[in-house]
Structure 1
């Protein structure tokens, strides 16, 4: 059984389909909204799990898009740096206090939002 920090392995070695970036952004905005009350513990845990899944699904997609660009391309470099950060975030535990759980969820939201931005940017890059 995989723990909460291990993304699911795609079946038959296939890359999972990238999530809908609009959905990723909506969830991220909800956690990052200034002055918003944190969601209840159960809802926060569910949101964090979904964000983890979305990050795990966006990583191979963004990486594939970045790899098509020249090595000296700035958007490629930015995306690859973000991918390193995203992989690090997936190794975070869930936290053992409410404050830590919220902190992890916020970090996941920021990372998922950044990956969605890179996905959008790289898809438009000629």
Structure 2
């Protein structure tokens, strides 16, 4: 699974680089989100199926799959605004599926650049406490990302 590419495709619909999309381009991106989700769902089910039935990550992943399937069954409604909103819902659902896939398969993601930390790449531990309500995130970041000064939690 090329989860990194799937995440990149969602950035056209959600995130800081989001553009106003309509017509054929929006229809194409919506189809791309659907296709990615349809590829990823069975992989997550397989990975979750290897875990005990009372395992919390398994339960959460399967719940996310249920939500994703509901979004896949839903229709966009009339008008470009509703079509764009539907596409963004699919993109957010795809991002959640990517998170579950990575968690269940042991892929480590850099908390700064949101790209995978591959075997052999230099990485460092990272922990941050947010100024809002004391939320925290911890994980790893690429060694090169530690020098950029950008810090964020997913």
TM-score, normalised via structure 2 length: 0.65
- Give the C-alpha shift of residue 72 in structure 1: 1.5
Mapped to 1, the partners of 2:98 and 2:28 lie a distance apart of 20
Structure 2 gaps, min length 5? 108-154
Q: Deviations over 1:22-49 (max 9, x none)?
A: 1110111221124733223211110000
Q: Which residue of 2 aligns with 1:13?
A: none
Q: Which residue of 1 aligns with 2:69?
A: 87
1:63 to 34, 42, 45: 45
2:97 to 115, 122, 125: 115
- Give the C-alpha shift of residue 73 in structure 1: 1.1
- Given that residues 64 and 97 in structure 2 are in contact (C-alpha distance below 8 angstroms), is that contact kept between their aligned partners in structure 1? yes
Pairing 1:44–2:26 present: yes
Q: Which residue of 1 aligns with 2:87?
A: 105
SS of 1:70's equivalent in the other structure is coil
Structure with the largest fraction of helix: 1
Q: Based on CA coordinates, which of the two structures has the bigger radius of gyration?
A: 2
* Greater RCO structure (CA 8 Å; 6+ sep): 1
Structure 1 gaps, min length 5? 1-18
Q: Which residue of 2 aligns with 1:16?
A: none
* Backbone CA RMSD of aligned residues: 1.6
Pairing 1:78–2:60 present: yes
Pairing 1:33–2:15 present: yes
- Give the C-alpha shift of residue 71 in structure 1: 1.3
Structure with the largest fraction of strand: 2
Name the count of aligned residue pairs: 107
